[in-house]
A and B are shown apart, each in its own frame.
Chain A
Amino acid sequence: MSLSLQMSIKRNVLYVRLRGELDQASVERLKYRVTEVINKYYIVHIVINLKEVPFMDSSGIGFIIGRYSQLKERKGKVVVCSMNELIERIFTLSGLKKICLVAASEDEAQNILEVA
Chain B
Amino acid sequence: MNNLMSVKFLAKKENVIFARGVAGAFLVNLNLELGFLNEIKTAISEAVTNSIVHGYLCDDTKLVELSMSYDDEVVTVEIIDNGVGIEDITKAKEPLYSTKLEEERAGLGFTIMEVFTDQLLVTSIVNQGTKVKMIKKYYE
* Interfacial residues, chain A to chain B (CB-CB below 8 A): 1-2, 21, 23-25, 28, 31, 55, 57-59, 61-63, 65-66, 85-86, 90, 93-95
Contact = CB atoms under 8 A, between A and B. Distances in A.
A18 to B, nearest CB: 15
B49 A57 contact: yes
Given A23-B17, A23-B45, A58 B35 contact: no
A24 B112 CA distance: 15
Contacts of B39: 86
Contact of B111 (A28, A62, A93): A93
Given A23-B45, A59-B49, A94 B104 contact: no
B46 A57 contact: yes
B123 to A, nearest CB: 22
Contacts of B17: 1-2, 21, 23, 25
B13 A24 contact: yes
B106 A94 contact: yes
A55 B38 CA distance: 8
B78 to A, nearest CB: 18
B122 interface: no
B66 interface: no
A25 B14 contact: yes
30 contacts: A1-B17, A2-B17, A23-B13, A23-B16, A23-B17, A23-B20, A24-B13, A24-B49, A25-B12, A25-B14, A25-B16, A55-B45, A57-B42, A57-B45, A57-B49, A57-B112, A58-B107, A58-B109, A58-B112, A59-B105, A61-B106, A61-B108, A62-B104, A65-B104, A66-B104, A86-B38, A86-B39, A86-B42, A90-B112, A95-B96
A65 B35 contact: no
B53 interface: yes
